[in-house]
Amino acid sequence: MSVRLTRWSAKMKTGHKEIDEQHMGLFKMLDDFMAEILKNRGDKKVEKLFYFLGKYTKEHFYFEEEYYRGKNYPKLAEHIKDHEEFTKSLRQLRVDSFKVCSEKNMRKLNEMLGEWLRGHILNGDMDASRWIEENPS
C-alpha cells in the first residue's frame, strides 16, 4: 500500500533558519512515524509519536510565539489560538486513536496532522514572516 504524506516544500520556507528547520523536523517526524507504523503496527509506536509530537510542537510553538512577540507581530493572539487548537486536537486524537489503533486510522491521523501543519505554515507562519520582513524593528 502506498503512502502519500504531506511533505515540507520550498513554498513553506519562511526565511527564518530555526523555524524552517523545526518545520522540516516536524514533517520528518510524521514520516518516520508512518514508516514505523507500516513496519510494525502497535500501540507503543503510536504512544511514542504522540509523546514526541506533543513535546516537539510545544517547543516549536513556544519558540515562534516568543519570536513573534519580540517583533510585535500584530496577529500574535490569533496565531497563538491556532497553536492551541492544534494542541487540543492532538490531545483528542491521542485519546481517540487508542480506541481503534488500526493502520487505516493511523494513516488518517498522519494525513490530518500533516495537512494541518501545511495549512498553518502556508497561512499563519508565512503571514507572520512577511509582516516581520515588511516591518523591520
Which lies closer to Fe ion via its Cβ, residue 5 or residue 126?
Answer: 126
CB of residue 128 to Fe ion, shortest distance in Å: 7
Is the distance from CB of 12 to CB of 114 less than 8 angstroms? no
The answer to the question of residue 125 lying near Fe ion (CB under 5 A) is yes
Torsion sign (Cα): 76, 89, 25, 114 = negative
Q: How far is CA 59 from CA 73, 84, 87, 90, in A?
A: 19, 13, 12, 15
**Position among 6, 12, 20, 64 found at the interface with Fe ion (CB under 5 A):** 64
Window 93-112: residues binding Fe ion (CB under 5 A)? none
Tell the smallest beta-carbon distance from residue 41 to Fe ion (Å): 29
End-to-end CA distance of the chain: 50
Stretch binding Fe ion (CB under 5 A), from 5-13, 41-49, 61-69, 85-93: 61-69
